[in-house]
Amino acid sequence: MLLPGSLALTLLLSMLTSMGPLSVDMYLASLPDMGRLLSAPMSQVQLTISFYLFGFAVAQVFYGALSDRHGRKPVLLTALGIYLIATLACALATSIETLIAARFVQAVGASGAIVLARAVVRDMYDGARMGRELSRMAAIMALAPLVAPLVGGVLQTVFGWRSNFVVLFCYGALAAGMAWLLLPETLRNRAPEAVSPMSIIRSFRRFLGNRGFVIHLGIAICCMSGLFAWISTSAFMLQDIYGLSALAFGLTFAVASAGYLLGTIIAARFVTRWGSGLTMGLGTMGMAAGGLATVVVVASGWHSVLGLVLTVGTYMIGMGLAWPQAQAGALIPFPDRAGAASSLLGFTTQTCSAIVGAILGHMLGGTAWPFAIAVAIAGTLSLILWTLTRAMRAADSGRA
């Protein structure tokens, strides 16, 4: 069994939380080719991302409450089983409609992994230690947007788009095997009431009545909205507007996303010294700076991939600092219902991300303006929210 604080436990939890990002990032380079081979317009192909995000969001509502009642491990293994079946269906899909449906179910399985990984962390850690563990997980998970597009670009070039889902199936099988053999049951006190729609609603009302949860949820929404603005538009923007190949896109996407890895490494090292509030504040400053700089680059007519890499990289550094602290701040007040709190956090952030992705998908054209405006709004709002609530957070936690 894996022990709290061990690198092996962090690695397993990172694998579980990275399944969601991997399932999006790895096949981005294949989107144009999928549309051609499945005879589908780009607006339909983009729905394989939007429906994934929607399924990911909706399913999270139930996993937390089920795990609070029945335990983390059995619910997690069920979710991983769903993921494996759906991923195999994606690899075998012969129409865009089948692929969209399979992606929805795949997301239902992947969402359980990330909800329960967060709940396990809350079961085992508290305070700044929890923020540090989430930052360590995020640092390892940050390798996903770096490696996945590169791997996806190679797979697309050599084997075609279906190979992405074959690799995801193998990754999911490995994570499921490790969880089954090594992960202990971390839930100490099971929820007394049976899971029902009304019990879930009552829990959510309790969370939304806590101002600390709401503040950190708002910052988390900004983080993820800007991220998925990049994810949902980058393949078309960089390949169709900037003329990059699938492999060059994967490399460019990875370089821009490397900022997230840097931000999480900084957070993991310094959060216990700086405190979660200050670390999160520095992150929102980086997000705002990166978002506004993207608008400047697009407005200047600097038609260069380098400009986007620099500005998106800055946003990602800020997100790497802010995102783990926002998660920790939302979960800390609820040690008794960590699963349900994690569900609401995930549901809300993913729903907003799906909406942003769907809107931008329909606005895609011959310009990068939709992405630039979206990421600037997300970054600026995160900084405004952190600034306006600093006194309230200081009163609640003793630090700003």
Burial 199-233 (b: 16+ CB within 10 A, else e): bbeebbebbeebebbebbbbbbbbbbbbbbbbbbb
Tokens of 72: 């983390």
The number of angstroms, rounded, from the C-alpha of 64 to the middle of its chain's C-alpha atoms is: 17
Unique residue bearing structure tokens 């993820």: 224
- Say how far apart CA 174 and CA 149 lie, in whole Å: 20
pTM value?
Answer: 0.75
CATH of 7-183+195-397, picked from 3.40.50.10540, 1.10.1760.20, 1.10.10.10, 1.20.1250.20, is: 1.20.1250.20
- Answer whether 155's CB lies under 8 Å from 163's CB: yes
Tell me, what DSSP letter sits at residue 126?
Answer: -
Handedness of CA 373, 374, 378, 384 (dihedral sign): positive
3-state secondary structure (DSSP) of residue 198: helix
- Say how far apart CA 55 and CA 351 lie, in whole Å: 9
**CB within 8 A of 316, min separation 6: which ones?**
227, 256, 257, 258, 259, 260, 262, 263, 290
CA distances from 152 to 24, 41, 114, 242, 312 (A): 10, 21, 22, 19, 20
Residue type, 269: R
CA distances from 107 to 87, 213, 334 (A): 9, 25, 26
- Answer whether 39's CB lies under 8 Å from 161's CB: no
- Answer whether 361's CB lies under 8 Å from 49's CB: yes
User: How many CB atoms sit inside 10 A of residue 188's CB?
Assistant: 8
Tokens of 359: 């809107």
Q: What is the pLDDT along the chain (400 residues), one digit of tens a residue?
A: 655 557 778 888 888 988 888 898 888 888 888 888 888 887 788 889 888 878 888 888 888 888 888 888 999 999 999 999 999 999 999 999 999 999 999 999 999 998 898 888 888 877 667 777 787 777 777 777 678 877 888 898 889 899 999 999 999 999 999 999 888 888 877 776 777 888 888 888 999 999 889 999 999 999 999 988 988 888 788 888 888 887 788 788 878 878 888 998 898 888 888 888 899 999 999 999 999 999 999 888 766 788 888 999 999 999 999 998 998 888 888 877 878 888 899 889 878 887 887 788 777 777 888 999 999 999 999 999 999 998 777 666 544 4
Handedness of CA 87, 93, 99, 101 (dihedral sign): negative
Handedness of CA 90, 94, 100, 101 (dihedral sign): negative
Using CB atoms within 10 A of its CB, is residue 196 exposed (0-12), middle (13-18) or buried (19+)?
exposed
